[in-house]
């Protein structure tokens, strides 16, 4: 391998790493937004990120979606997001939108899909924190697992194969239904 080929390979590796970290960050943001409504600090950070990007160029696949989020954050307050979150995902009795995979895959909460997720987490050496009240099939918890599978330091667990399998087994089967709810 020539020096030029080695330099190109290193550059591609760095680009891939940056892309992976960006994907992990996006999963982290989505997890946060599905776990609880954003506070004003988070909304201000989202708005500031749009200013740093310099506007839409249409070159990045998620750029238009990101800029729509920036616009929504810019034109609202944290209380607006809380009201919308509460109306959509919380409520007495049945919420308007369930955030749990078991609901969409089995028709009820705390069903077989939750057990399958727990088995997968055990294989990764992960378990739910006692401080978190949501079950492991909550979309925020699943996005946090994806974040770990992308950016975790243990390459035996945090690798592309595990990302694909976990996503295809535990998110893909019901995510469209969640989005359509």
Q: Are 166 and 149 in contact (CB under 8 A)?
A: yes
110 falls within a domain: yes
The pLDDT value given to residue 10? 44
The domain of 56 spans 39-77
Whether residue 108 sits in one domain with residue 97: yes
Partners of 60 in the beta sheet?
Answer: none
- Total domains in the chain come to 2
Tell me how far CA of residue 37 lies from CA of 42, 56, 73, 86, 147, in angstroms. 10, 26, 12, 8, 19
User: In terms of pTM, does the model score above 0.75?
Assistant: yes
Is residue 109 domain-shared with residue 27, that is, in the same domain? yes
Structural domain contains residue 137: yes
The model's pLDDT over 77-118, given as tens digits with 9 standing for 90+, comes to 999 999 999 999 997 888 999 999 999 999 999 999 999 999
**C-alpha separations of 177 from 15, 28, 39, 48, 107 in Å:** 33, 21, 27, 32, 12
The pLDDT assigned to 51 comes to: 77
Distances (CA, A) of 117 to 5, 91, 123, 164: 42, 26, 10, 14
């Amino acid at each position: 391998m020539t020096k030029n080929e080695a330099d190109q390979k290193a550059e591609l590796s760095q680009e891939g790493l940056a892309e992976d970290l960006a994907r992990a960050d996006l999963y982290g943001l989505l997890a946060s937004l599905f776990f609880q409504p954003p506070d004003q600090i988070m909304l201000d950070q989202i708005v500031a990120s749009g200013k740093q990007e310099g506007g839409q160029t249409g070159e990045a696949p998620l750029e238009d979606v990101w800029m729509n989020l920036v616009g929504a954050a810019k034109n609202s307050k944290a209380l607006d997001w809380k009201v919308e979150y509460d109306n959509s995902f919380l409520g007495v009795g049945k919420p308007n939108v369930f955030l749990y995979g078991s609901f969409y895959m089995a028709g009820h909460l705390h069903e077989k899909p939750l057990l399958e997720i727990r088995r997968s987490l055990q294989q990764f050496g992960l378990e739910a924190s006692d401080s978190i009240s949501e079950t492991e099939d909550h979309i925020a918890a699943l996005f946090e697992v994806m974040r770990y599978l992308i950016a975790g330091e243990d390459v035996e667990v945090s690798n592309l194969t595990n990302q694909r399998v976990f996503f295809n087994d535990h998110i893909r089967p019901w995510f469209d239904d969640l989005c359509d709810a």
